[in-house]
Structure 1
Amino acid sequence: MRWLRVVLINFLGIVLVLVFAEGVARLVEPKVSDSSNPITLPDPELAWAPHPNGRSHGVSSEFDIETVSNALGNYDFRVPPDADGRRLSILALGDSHTAASGVSTGQTWPKVLQADLERSGVSAWVHNGGVHGYSLDQYLVRLRRMAPIVKPRVVIIGFSAATDFYDVGRTRAGDFVYGSDIGRVYFSLGDNGELVEHRELVGKRLGREDGTTPMLSLARLRSALERLALYRLFKRSELAMWLAMRLSTTDEALWPGLDTALKIDLAGEDRRRFDLASKLIGRIAEESRGVGATPMLVHIPYLAQVYDSVWQSSFGSVPGYDRDLAGKRLGDIAREYGLLYVDVYPAMRDYVARHGGEWVHYPIDAHPNVTGQRLIGNAVFDVLSACLKKNPELKPDGCR
């Protein structure tokens, strides 16, 4: 009995410590609060879309931000006046790295780009069509929605190395990375490698019986652990990264999107994701040119690419990965499908090296901070301004 009492006391002590640690982790992790309007609304084709005229106040240990959407549902303070033939209309597509998490609406890279263009004497409006949690599938549908309204002459894909090679081609309950129970338009590859559009899940709520993921899979375990702030905090530690690289399986990597982007030899699911992402980028480029717009692809790098300590604790600690490979692969895709290409990776690496290792991402939230967003916007401006000098009329193929 005495032995049992010692075990119970120790067990309760561990539980209390973990509960306390969870409470502390919830206090320090980024969170959004004080929303005067919902920031998104349900959408049958997209699963969710930004709330028109929404406003949200986000407070965390790392930032204090204001997020605003305009009447078009883009992250901006207002809707610009109708096009007058002189203003350059630009549509930026992307996920939370573009929308963007961790910075206020006026500090996102699309708004940095707009300010840079205005300072250079180019009248421009950059519509921030990025949406938190979106995938390449949703970028394409969003382009189709927004192009007739904003009439872009440039369409920019803000490609997130963190997720955009991973969150594609997901088709069943529990399989979509975000909003796993919400149906939407999605794309797959046909037998001959062609892009196939699927609409059978549009407007549906997906139940568990619709999925085929095993109940005890690593995906379900990770999904359950993600509800714990302590786990979310721990998984970014160097120890967690070191362990994850050694315990990960083919399809359950530490950062699946970045895993595909940096893995030297692609096979199986990695190859399928890469090929599907490439085809989706190509289709977005094709449909952008179809509405008279010049397509651009922007590589937005993630933590392991930018910071030596994170690289060495994760992908750099095991063989089979190349830190520079994501930018090279995206550059190849851009050349194949005729997109202007912007690789932000060198600019971020250079900034960190010149500023004594200063981070351009939030360490906990992991999205680019104000400096990181500025670097993205500046890098896009450099490429676009060079294109404008060469091709003032922005003919779709005039800068290739």
Structure 2
Amino acid sequence: MRWLRVALINLLGIVVALALGEGVARLAEPKLAESSNPIALVDPELGWVPHPNAHSHGVSSEFDIETVSNELGNYDFRVPPDLDGRRLSILALGDSHTAAAGVSTGQAWPKVLQADLEKAGVSVWVHNGGVHGYSLDQYLVRLQRLAPIVKPRVVIIGFSAATDFYDVGRTRAGNFVYGSDIGRIYFSLDGKGELLEHRELVGRKLGRQDGTTPLLSLATLRGTLDHLALYRLLKRSAFAMWLAMRLSTADEALWPGLDTALKVELAGEDRRRFDLASKLIGRIAEESRKAGAVPMLVHIPYLAQVYDSVWQSSFGSVRGYDRDLAGKRLGGIAKQHGLLYVDAYPAMRDYVASHGGDWVHYPIDAHPNVTGQRLIGDAVFTVLGACLEKNPELKPDGCR
């Protein structure tokens, strides 16, 4: 009984300490992002799409932004008429790194690219087709919908190293990363490594019988812990990242997409994710060329790649990872499938190194900030500008 009382007292002390810690963390926590209007509609094939002609005001401790959507249902401004029919049309696809979270509509990298091209004397409209939470599966379907409308001469895939190797690996049985209970089109590989389209989940509300995230998993645990201010405060600390790397498994990791992107040896689920991502990028490139467009692939790096302190506390603290590998792998995919390739990683790392460690991402939100978006847009402009000089008619295969 004495030992039981001691154990109960110790347990009570731990509970009280955690409760106090949670209270202090909530008082100290920076304001999380709030939006006046999420501007999204349910879509049976894509899961969700931006609500057309809408407006949202987003506020957090790190930003105060205005987001609009246009008549095409893009996070973009209203498209002006092309009076002489000579305007270059470019379509950017991607997730929240393209849409883009944390910056106002005019500051997203597709609009930076548009401004750069206009300064160079090009009449152009860059359609921002990025949508928060989208995966490569949805990029492909989005292209199929938008290409006949905007008739792009260039199609750009904004590939997020943070999630795009992870999202694609989760769509084989309705076990989606974002909107796990929302049915949609998804893709897999058959026994011969060919792409298969699946439509059995289209328009359905999913439950656990459909393969959504099980109750007992690291992903579910992360989702539960994210409701705690104490966890949110500590999860990017050096110790928390060091510990998380040692709790990782083949399927669950600190940053699963980046884990696949940077892991030296790919096997099992990592290899399947990589192969499926490569096939989807290849299909997007193929359909872009059929639509008369030059396909491009843009590598958008994440925190552990760009910042020495984050790298050393996470992937750099264990063996088997290469900080530069994501860019090399994506470059290899681009070469294999004939896409122009843009790597924003060197520009971001060089900027941080030359500006005393200034961040080009929001430390809490983790998306590229205004400077980060500008660096991505400028990097795309450099490569696309060279393509235009070499191939002014923008023949789909003229810039390889």
1:7-46 equivalences under 5 Å are 10-11=13-14, 13-24=16-27, 27-35=29-37, 38-46=38-46
Q: Deviations over 1:49-88 (max 9, x none)?
A: 0010121111111111111111111112212314743111
Aligned-residue offset at 1:6: 5.6
2:385 is equivalent to residue 382 of structure 1: no
Question: Hey, what's the Cα distance between the residues in 1 that align with 2:91 and 2:345?
Answer: 22
What does residue 156 of structure 2 align with?
156
Q: Is the 8 A contact 1:74 1:128 kept in 2?
A: yes
What does residue 103 of structure 1 align with?
103
Cα gap change, 1:217 to 1:398, in 2 (>3 Å): same
2:286 is equivalent to residue 286 of structure 1: yes
Matching residue's letter, 1:20: G
What does residue 141 of structure 2 align with?
141
Please state whether the residue corresponding to 2:223 is helix, strand or coil: helix
Aligned-residue offset at 1:250: 1.0
What does residue 245 of structure 1 align with?
245
Please state whether the residue corresponding to 2:42 is helix, strand or coil: strand
Q: Deviations over 1:348-392 (max 9, x none)?
A: 111111111111001111100000000000000000000000000
What does residue 330 of structure 1 align with?
330
Q: Is the 8 A contact 2:117 2:124 kept in 1?
A: yes
Q: Is the 8 A contact 2:327 2:343 kept in 1?
A: yes
Question: Hey, what's the Cα distance between the residues in 1 that align with 2:12 and 2:252?
Answer: 36
Q: Deviations over 1:191-248 (max 9, x none)?
A: 0000000000000000123227553222222222233343233222211111111111
| Count of matched residue positions in the alignment of Structure 1 and Structure 2 | 396
Q: Is the 8 A contact 1:233 1:364 kept in 2?
A: no
Q: Is the 8 A contact 1:32 1:56 kept in 2?
A: no
Give TM-score scaled by structure 1 length.
0.95
Q: Which runs of 5+ in 1 are unaligned?
A: none
What does residue 260 of structure 2 align with?
260
Question: Hey, what's the Cα distance between the residues in 2 that align with 1:108 and 1:342?
Answer: 16
Please state whether the residue corresponding to 1:389 is helix, strand or coil: helix
Q: Is the 8 A contact 1:156 1:295 kept in 2?
A: yes
Please state whether the residue corresponding to 2:53 is helix, strand or coil: coil
2:399 is equivalent to residue 399 of structure 1: yes
What does residue 113 of structure 1 align with?
113
What does residue 313 of structure 1 align with?
313
Cα gap change, 1:134 to 1:213, in 2 (>3 Å): closer
Aligned-residue offset at 1:33: 2.5
Question: Hey, what's the Cα distance between the residues in 2 that align with 1:83 and 1:159?
Answer: 33
Percent same amino acid at aligned positions? 79
Matching residue's letter, 2:324: D
Superposed CA RMSD in Å reads: 1.8
Give TM-score scaled by structure 2 length.
0.95
Matching residue's letter, 2:61: S
Stretches of 4+ aligned residues off by more than 6 angstroms: 1-5
Question: Hey, what's the Cα distance between the residues in 1 that align with 2:80 and 2:24?
Answer: 47
